[in-house]
Each structure stands twice: as C-alpha cells, then as structure tokens.
Structure 1
Amino acid sequence: MSRGLDNCNPGNIRQSKVRYKGEVRPSRDPAFKQFETPAWGYRAIFVLLDTYRIRHGLDTIRGMISRWAPPAENHTAIYIRAVAEAVGIPADRPLDTRDRTTMLRMAAAVSRVENGVAADMDEVAKGWELFASDARHSR
C-alpha cells in the first residue's frame, strides 16, 4: 500500500502547522500528515484546494497543481495534464471548488497521481460530505 493511503492521506499533504479536522496527532509519519480515515484525508484535499482559490487566487487546475506539486519536487506538467484529463476541463479554465462533481473528480485524480491506484469513490464522496457539511469550511 502506498504511503499516502497507509496514512489515510490520499493527497500526501505534508506536515505543517496547519491542523485539519480528523488529523491524527501526533503523526507517526515525520513528513506527511495522517488522518483518522480516508474520508478525512479527502476532506483535507477539498479544504486545501478551496483555500488555494480563496486565499491565493488559484482557480485553475494549472494554478492549484503547480502549488500542490511544485516542479522542484514533481513532474508538475504531467501531473497537471493527468488531473485536467480526469476532471474533463482544460487546465487553464477557472473552476469552482464548491462544485461537487468537479471536485470529486479532482480529488480522485490527485489521489491517483499521488498513490498510483484509482481512488475509492465512496471515500471521496464521504470526504466531500464532511467538507460540504461544515459551513465555515474550517480546517
């Protein structure tokens, strides 16, 4: 099993001072966050991508993935292409991080690139419900 899936962190979100609901603390992984369930990990993906749009003005797949997976550490162009194809929209078209269909596809694509296997869409949907049910979208 991949590190991200083992950590219930399908987006491989790195350790930081930011705390998310459902995060396991302390994490047994020194580099990446761990979550209680995959759904909490998917929720964190939705929160982080929504934050990219709101706080950083990144409203395209290219903008979001360039921040998520910078070229210094990743094959960002390939990552962007894979996500855009999976979501079904051009990499430079603005997207709505509050649109369920778009974001389910995007989180599943991120998980696929990060972990090398198809996402469990039931868990992705559970993560969306956790995200959508929190009106404040707090971390």
Structure 2
Amino acid sequence: MTRGTRNNNPGNIDHNPANKWQGQLPHDPKIEKRFCRFESPEYGIRALMKLLINYHKGGHNSVSKIINRWAPNIENNTTAYINGVSKALNVDQHQVLDINKPTLIALAKSIIRHENGQQPYSEATFEKAFEML
C-alpha cells in the first residue's frame, strides 16, 4: 500500500498546521512525519481538489503551472509529471484549463496515479469528494 493510499491522502498533501482540512486526522509525527492523514479517501481527494481550485484561482491555470507548483523539481521529475498529466487530460501543457467538474476529476485522477503509481479509487469516490467541495 502506498503512503498516499495508507494516509487517505492520495495527492500526498504536506501537513501544514495552518490548514484545517475537513476530515483531517490529528497530526502525529510517530505515524506520519510529513503528510496529512484523512478519515477517508473522499476527504483526501476533496482536499486535493480544493488545492487545485485555489491554484487555478491564483494563476496556476495550466497543467504546466499546476504541476510546477504541486511537485517542484527539487524533489520530483516535474517534466515527466507534466507530460503524464497533460497526456491523461489530452491537453497541451500550457493550455489554460477550465476547472469544471470533469476536468477537475480528471486532473485529480492523474495526480493520484502519478503520486501513487496507480489510481485505485472508484468514480463514486470522486463524485462524493466533488460533492463535498
């Protein structure tokens, strides 16, 4: 089981004490030093989607800009990440995205696949996470 799956945080969102995510479990460095943990995958996917919406509002509105913000080069092969997400969404990496429901879900699925090596969640899980926004 990947860390993202185990933590119900498939986007591997860093823990930040300033963030009070819905469904977030108390931070316990004995269990997980760096990343958030959530009650269920829906809450972790919801947090991922909320961050993506906020990135978009802040001007990170293309796959290239979003992934450069999400997964910086200092710890990721960002070029491969951008290429994989762009291919999954069937868009040019610099195309400005419309963050509607289908695009947001597709973006979240692609990030989860890259972060965990697989995307194990059902469509119903993404629908529920989206409804919780």
TM-score by length of 1: 0.88
- Deviation, 1:47, is 0.4
| Alignment counterpart, residue 67 of structure 2, candidates 48, 65, 68 | 65
Of all paired residues, the percent bearing the same amino acid is: 33
How many aligned positions are there? 129
**Residue 111 of structure 2 corresponds to residue 110 of structure 1:** yes
Q: Residue 12 of structure 1 corresponds to which residue in structure 2?
A: 12
Asked if the contact 1:108–1:119 (Cα under 8 Å) also holds between the matched residues in 2, the reply is: no
- Deviation, 1:119, is 3.6
- Deviation, 1:37, is 0.5
- Deviation, 1:24, is 0.7
Give, in whole Å, the separation in 1 of the partners of 2:131 and 2:83: 27
Letter paired with 2:14: R
- Deviation, 1:77, is 0.5
Q: Residue 48 of structure 1 corresponds to which residue in structure 2?
A: 51
Give, in whole Å, the separation in 1 of the partners of 2:52 and 2:45: 11
- Deviation, 1:122, is 2.5
Give, in whole Å, the separation in 2 of the partners of 1:124 and 1:110: 13
Letter paired with 1:107: A
TM-score by length of 2: 0.92
Which runs of 5 or more residues in structure 2 are unaligned? none
RMSD over aligned Cα atoms: 1.1
Secondary structure of 2:52 counterpart: helix
- Deviation, 1:118, is 2.1
Q: Residue 2 of structure 2 corresponds to which residue in structure 1?
A: 2
Q: Residue 137 of structure 1 corresponds to which residue in structure 2?
A: none
Letter paired with 1:80: I
Letter paired with 1:84: S
Give, in whole Å, the separation in 1 of the partners of 2:21 and 2:98: 21
Give, in whole Å, the separation in 2 of the partners of 1:129 and 1:76: 30
- Runs of 4+ in structure 1 over 3 Å off: none
**Residue 20 of structure 2 corresponds to residue 23 of structure 1:** no
Which runs of 5 or more residues in structure 1 are unaligned? 132-139
List per-residue Cα deviations over 1:34-81 (Å, max 9, x = no partner): 011001111001100111121x21110100100100000100000011
Asked if the contact 2:15–2:27 (Cα under 8 Å) also holds between the matched residues in 1, the reply is: no
Secondary structure of 2:132 counterpart: helix
